Every structure is written in structure tokens, then in C-alpha cells.
Amino acid sequence: KWPHLRDVPIGNLDSEEVLLLIGCDLPEAHWVLHHRLGGRKSPYAVQTLLGWTVFGPASYPEYRKRVVNHTSKIQTLEDEIRKLYDVEFSDVYSNDKSVSTEDK
């Protein structure tokens, strides 16, 4: 029904349990890497560091009562968060030996 979303890899929702909430105090988690836009009043998708998210109306009545912004397997989500921390804190865990001011 939405050709612009055909190549977006969205898995099935196995559980209604919320596993992770991401606030706006971590803007890097919301950076848009890619997007798929449709026409007015049609759903659209964005890809962030944590995966794809689909926004917009669903045309199936049984889904109108649910709101899902992002679904991801726990292992994949943990890997993506680990990648984010590796990039953000790569200088903290450097293998290079530092020399003290006195030894210089």
C-alpha cells in the first residue's frame, strides 16, 4: 500500500512491553541518517543510529489504539548503543600510553 516503505526493514512486534525510552537529552540518538517520505497523510520512516522508525497513520482499525514509535530486538539495540558509546567515548579508553607533565 505504501511503496516508499517497501524497503524499510521493520520487524514484527513480539511484545507490547516497553524496553527502552530515549529522551531528547541524547540528540545523537535522534539524528536522521535516511528517510522515506510519502504524500500528505501517509506514513513516513526515518532511520537513526538505533534503527528505523515509522510515523503516521495506520489504515487498520485494530492498530489505531496502539502507538509504536520504534521496535528493535534487544541484542540489536544493545549493539547499536555500544557503537554509539564507542564513538562518543573513544578518547577515554585509548590504548596509547600517556606521559605525565613531569616526564615530558
With a cut of 80, say whether residue 70 has pLDDT above it.
no
Query: Which tops the pLDDT comparison, 53 or 57?
Result: 53
Q: Which three cell numbers stand for residue 76?
A: 540489536
Give the distance, in angstroms, between the CA of residue 89 and the centroid of all CA atoms in the same chain: 19
Q: Rg (Cα) of the chain, in Å, rounded?
A: 19
Give the predicted TM-score (pTM) of the model. 0.49
Which segments of the chain does DSSP mark as H helices, in order? 74-88
With a cut of 70, say whether residue 95 has pLDDT above it.
no
With a cut of 60, say whether residue 72 has pLDDT above it.
no
Kindly list the domain boundaries of the chain, sorted by start residue. 3-88
Q: Which three cell numbers stand for residue 68?
A: 509504536
- Residue range 16-51, pLDDT digits in tens: 776 667 777 778 888 899 999 988 888 999 998 888
Q: What are phi and psi of 96, to 5 degrees?
A: -70, 140
Q: Decide the pairing of beta strands 44-48 and 51-55.
A: antiparallel
